[in-house]
């Protein structure tokens, strides 16, 4: 009888939801995460100039933000930089992931993996200062002061973020189909194009989306690297907040939030379709 009770105790599956206070703590975390965002969105529709006193519903701050020439220029610049960084960093991260998962183990593989992920562990301010010094040397030698530095900086720090989901996807993929294609005399390029890449696409999409959001949202590195007239949208928002805070910034931030939600939704449907 005692043995049966012991067996029954082992057969019960542990669930964190059975722990006391789990629901309360979970709800508290959700409130702390999303209450500020909900407040931000609500006050972006405030008719008055205050960000804390409700004076009626209005779309005027969205209208002002959409027709603000400086916001338009900063938004276009942010999207250009983010799109370039996403494409290049995703391609580089995919090649790096293939080189560290689809090859025979070699001396230095662990070091290569550590070097690829090292920027994630280095404080962003250190990376920003290092890029500032490095680009200053290039400017002194070449005289070039264009947007190329911003493109290069964003691409560089987005590579590790794109690399993680791509590598994770490759590690979960079985080699069976790739080996079968190779046994049927498919060239390595055809194996990659028709077998590996379609199976890898959810990881590529996840890495690309993460790189895009990271680039679009970056402040520290952009602040150090961007030259005169090269402000991205986050830098413009920070500059405006130092002068005067109006619901227009709430509207801009809400539009930023909307873009993030749309990206996550799009990725969900794309990955679901791939499965």
Per-residue pLDDT of the chain (275 residues; tens, 9 = 90+): 444 444 445 456 766 666 767 788 888 998 998 888 888 888 888 888 877 788 888 888 899 888 889 888 999 999 999 999 999 999 999 999 988 887 777 777 778 878 888 888 888 899 899 999 999 999 999 988 889 999 999 999 999 999 988 988 888 888 888 888 888 888 888 888 888 888 888 889 888 988 998 898 889 999 999 888 888 988 888 888 787 777 888 888 888 888 878 877 776 776 565 55
Domains and CATH numbers, the chain: 13-43 (no CATH), 68-274 (1.10.3720.10)
- How far is the CA of 92 from the CAs of 128, 141, 159, 256, in angstroms? 21, 27, 7, 27
Place of tokens 């873009």: 259
Q: Model pTM?
A: 0.80
pLDDT in the model for residue 86: 94
Among 19, 80, 114, 26, smallest CA distance to 226 is for 80
């Amino acid at each position: 009888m005692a043995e049966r009770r012991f067996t029954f105790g082992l057969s019960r599956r542990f669930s964190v939801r059975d722990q006391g206070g789990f629901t309360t703590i979970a709800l508290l975390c959700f409130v702390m995460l999303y209450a500020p965002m909900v407040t931000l969105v609500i006050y972006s529709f405030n008719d008055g100039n205050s960000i804390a006193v409700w004076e009626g519903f209005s779309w005027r701050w969205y209208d002002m933000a959409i027709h603000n020439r400086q916001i338009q220029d900063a938004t276009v610049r942010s999207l250009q930089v983010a799109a370039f960084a996403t494409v290049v960093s995703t391609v580089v991260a995919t090649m790096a992931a293939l080189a560290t998962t689809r090859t025979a183990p070699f001396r230095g593989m662990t070091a290569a993996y550590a070097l690829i992920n090292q920027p994630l562990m280095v404080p962003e301010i250190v990376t920003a200062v290092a890029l500032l010094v490095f680009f200053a040397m290039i400017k002194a030698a070449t005289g070039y002061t264009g947007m190329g530095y911003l493109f290069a900086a964003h691409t560089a720090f987005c590579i590790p973020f794109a690399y993680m989901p791509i590598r994770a996807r490759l590690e979960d993929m079985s080699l069976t189909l790739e080996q079968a294609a190779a046994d049927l005399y498919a060239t390595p390029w055809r194996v990659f194009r028709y077998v590996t890449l379609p199976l890898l696409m959810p990881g590529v999409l996840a890495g690309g989306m993460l790189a895009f959001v990271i680039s679009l949202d970056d402040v520290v590195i952009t602040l150090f690297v961007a030259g005169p007239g090269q402000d991205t949208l986050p830098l413009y928002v920070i500059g405006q907040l130092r002068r005067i805070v109006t619901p227009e910034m709430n509207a801009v931030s809400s539009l930023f939030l909307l873009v993030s939600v749309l990206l996550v939704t799009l990725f969900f449907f794309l990955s679901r379709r791939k499965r």
